[in-house]
Amino acid sequence: MITTTGLTKIYGADGSRGRQITALDGVDLHVREGEVYGVIGQSGAGKSSLIRCINLLERPTAGTVSVAGQDLTALAGRGPRAGKELRQARSRIGMVFQHFNLLSSRTVQDNVELPLEILGTSGKERSRKALELLDLVGLADRAGAYPAQLSGGQKQRVGIARALAADPKVLLSDEATSALDPETTRSILQLLRDLNRQLGLTVLLITHEMDVVKSICDSAALMEKGRIVESGTVSELLATPGSELAAALFPVGGEAAGPDRTVIDVTFQGEAATQPVISQLSRTYNIDISILGAAIDTVGGLQVGRMRIELPGRYEDNVVPIGFLREQGLQIDVVDASDAKPELAKEAVK
């Protein structure tokens, strides 16, 4: 549904004074139709530039952007006809902003109607559509209110309704929950997931909050310094040895008590998360196991957990117990294989 290839954005590349800043550095991204895709990264990673280039609010310096099979970058700056096609393509992309961007002089209903006014929709149809959308986001009784009379969560719901006014196929969310309290954030995220399922929307959201990815995303990408350094479905990432995203989603800590100890991270998914695998390991091999840290949560309706445990002895002494855990379908990452033999260290990160 959304594909970027070699997407690059360099601010100051037009020859204006000041140093050039590379916000995007050859970004390749693919978001499948009907999924919720999260792009996460620290401030300055390039997330906002990415989402603004996808709907061409910012013109990329290089690379291409395709939405629903249409190359938007091919339409940019190609004359009146191409400009009209670009505007039509943009109307199929909804945008939800961090700070709502509602017009204070307009009622809630009028704010939702604004995109339809721009598209030339009749007044009667605008009113019908706006009221329908306000009902969809749970604000049917606030149609005549003004933004100043709404809470932050209500304002964001109006912003979402407005973004849906032109029946978009894609919804872009630019840090839509970062200005909200935790409870309101959960309700807005649930609304986005419900809209994704009810309307078949493809949702691309950017965030710096891991809980957002954990709550509703099917797939995710990690951005650093204008590049995507890791991407995939959440379940694939959790099963990828050494995944930064998986470690950040389920952080566990703890260090070995001494040099003759092996520390491993164990990732559980689905039914395995409820099985007494660690106690079975202890009984089967008659070894004492120390639990250094653990985290468990539900991701995409699937229970997922990570646990850091310490086994007595060096890695080569624990090849069989670690193999037992892998046989149970668990993802095993050796935290420190520096004392292992080269061939064992390679096996440790498979």
Cβ(56)–Cβ(72) below 8 Å: yes
Show the beta-strand stretches assigned E in the chain.
2-11, 21-31, 36-40, 62-67, 70-71, 93-96, 170-174, 202-207, 219-224, 227-233, 261-269, 290-299, 302-312, 331-334
pLDDT value of residue 155:
94
Domain identity same for 169 and 210: yes
Both 229 and 329 in a single domain?
Answer: no
Q: Which domain, by its residues, includes 299?
A: 250-348
Q: How many domains does the chain have?
A: 2
Say yes or no: 171 and 262 in one domain. no
Looking at the fold, whether 79 and 186 belong to one and the same domain comes out as: yes
203 and 265 housed in the same domain = no
Together in a domain, 267 and 206: no
Total-model pTM: 0.83
Last residue of a domain, one of 218, 238, 258: 238
Q: In this structure, are 185 and 290 located in the same domain?
A: no
Say what the pLDDT of residue 135 is: 96
- Owner of token pair 């998914």: 269
Q: Clarify whether residues 213 and 287 are in a common domain.
A: no
Pairing of strands 170-174, 202-207: parallel
| Burial call 122-134: b when 16+ CB within 10 Å, e when fewer | eeeebbebbbebb
Inside any domain, residue 258: yes
Q: Tell whether 56 is covered by a domain.
A: yes
Q: Which amino acid is at 11?
A: Y
pLDDT along the chain (350 residues), means of 10: 95 73 95 95 91 91 91 73 74 88 95 91 93 95 96 94 93 89 92 93 92 89 94 84 81 81 87 82 92 81 83 92 90 67 36
Residue 319 confidence (pLDDT): 94
- Domain CATH for 333: 3.30.70.260
- Residue 199: CATH number of its domain: 3.40.50.300
Say whether both 270 and 229 belong to one domain. no
Q: Are residues 210 and 273 in the same domain?
A: no
pLDDT at 325: 92
pLDDT of the residue at 348: 36
* Res 257: pLDDT: 80
Within this chain, do residues 106 and 195 fall inside the same structural domain, yes or no? yes
Intra-chain end-to-end CA distance of the chain, in Å = 32
Question: In the prediction, which pLDDT does 328 show?
Answer: 87
**pLDDT computed for residue 239 by the predictor:** 74
